[in-house]
Amino acid sequence: MPSAPLDRELLEQLSDIPEVSLSGFAVREGLAGTGVTVLKGRDYFGSWRRVDTQLVWVPANLTDPGHIVETVDEAVRQTLLMILKSLEVSSRKPPRALAG
């Protein structure tokens, strides 16, 4: 399967899930015109890239694990899990003190 349809399908499927944007995330076409970039607010969260017949997740924080999946459905599922994990971690952080 060519990369353009894979990328387009992943982007379309993630864009069609309202909870992605409602949770403060966004998906965009990769900067080079390939892949799918995921943003958390205005910050880079990570991206999916096609390598041969697989999709590879490259996280913004390189200490986080990457992922390799075989299908667009698996990439969607993995992206949603990473978003949920990020929201869970964010909700556990104490609020920042206001500058006064």
What pLDDT, in 10s, does the model give residues 52-99?
A: 889 999 999 999 889 999 999 999 999 999 999 999 887 776 666 666
pLDDT for 4 equals 56
The domain of 28 spans: 3-85
For residue 44, being part of any structural domain is answered with yes
Instruction: Assess if residue 92 is contained within a domain.
Output: no
CA 89, 93, 98, 99 dihedral sign is negative
Q: Which of 63, 51, 60, 75 is nearest to 1 (CA)?
A: 51
Is 72 a domain residue? yes
Number of independent structural domains in the chain: 1
Classify residue 74: in a domain, yes or no: yes
Structural domain contains residue 13:
yes
Rounded Cα–Cα distance for residues 56 and 93 (Å)? 29
Residue 97 lies in a domain: no
Q: Residue 93 domain-assigned? A: no
pLDDT 10s digits, 23-33: 999 999 998 88
Spatial neighbors of 44 by CB under 8 A, at least 6 apart, are 37, 60
